[in-house]
Structure 1
Amino acid sequence: FASEVDIEGDSAKITREVDGGLQTISVKMPTIVTVDLRLNEPRYASLPNIMKAKKKPLDEKTAADYGVDVTPRLEIVKTEEPPARAAGIVVGSVDELVEKLKEAGAV
């Protein structure tokens, strides 16, 4: 929820609002920052520009085009379902409940 972002070379200075005031941190680039609505005023496309954009070709890129390795880093060894729950016991009174708990060693 950044309210101000200043990019300085290979780092970014980010300011955000916290309960006690403003917090400013510095992070190395590249980074992902979520921003507050007050940071920028959104621009809305006009209808003619939307129609022009529909006609423009889209370049499809792969992760390899950007030099990113997307091979899985984790290996799934085994998956199994959790054990089925045992059936519960219906008791008729508090005294019967206390006796069942004593038998089970819970009390």
Structure 2
Amino acid sequence: QTGQMLAALSGLSQGTFASEVVVDNDKVQVTREIDGGLQTVELTLPAIVTTDLRLNEPRYAKLPDIMKAKKKPMDIKTPADLGVEVASKVTLLKVESPAERKGGIKVGSVDELVDKLKNEAKVL
């Protein structure tokens, strides 16, 4: 949902659940699996592309590489260092509780139920 929401908020085109991505100059072709087979869409860059598990085979880190990574210094940056504003642009207008449900009624027989469905609820 994050990719779709980001595309909607930024006004960019989107390609979702990509199993293959081909970039060609200012265009990108995104192939995705749908119920009837494969669908390929062409988007103009910049665009938001979300991926599927079948896009590539993940690389797993080896133990020596993990040990090397633990020794490297970690630079801590804030969003302001990158020129990003994180203030919310959503305004809450109002919060209401849902209407209380009315209590149900018990009927004595099937005939009474059918009569109430026909005459009161008008569903039959």
TM-score after normalising by structure 2: 0.64
Instruction: Give the Cα separation in 2 of the matches to 1:94 and 1:78.
Output: 44
> What SS is found at the alignment partner of 1:51?
helix
1:67–1:55: structure 2 CA closer, same or farther, 3 Å change rule?
Answer: same
- Deviations along 1:3-43, whole A, 9 cap, x unmatched? 32223344422223442444242242252321342x32221
1:59–1:8: structure 2 CA closer, same or farther, 3 Å change rule?
Answer: farther
1:31–1:67: structure 2 CA closer, same or farther, 3 Å change rule?
Answer: farther
> What SS is found at the alignment partner of 1:95?
helix
| Of 88-97 and 16-25, the range deviating more from structure 2 | 16-25
User: What corresponds to 2:45 in structure 1?
Assistant: 28
Cα RMSD (Å) of the superposition?
Answer: 2.5
- Greater percentage in helix: 2
Which structure has the larger Rg?
A: 1
User: What corresponds to 1:42 in structure 2?
Assistant: 58
User: What corresponds to 1:16 in structure 2?
Assistant: 32
> What SS is found at the alignment partner of 1:33?
strand
Instruction: Give the Cα separation in 2 of the matches to 1:40 and 1:100.
Output: 60
Instruction: Give the Cα separation in 1 of the matches to 2:112 and 2:28.
Output: 66
1:81 to 97, 103, 107: 97
Letter in 2 for 1:71: A
- Greater percentage in strand: 2
Higher relative contact order (CA 8 A, sep 6+): 2
Q: Which runs of 5+ in 2 are unaligned?
A: 1-16
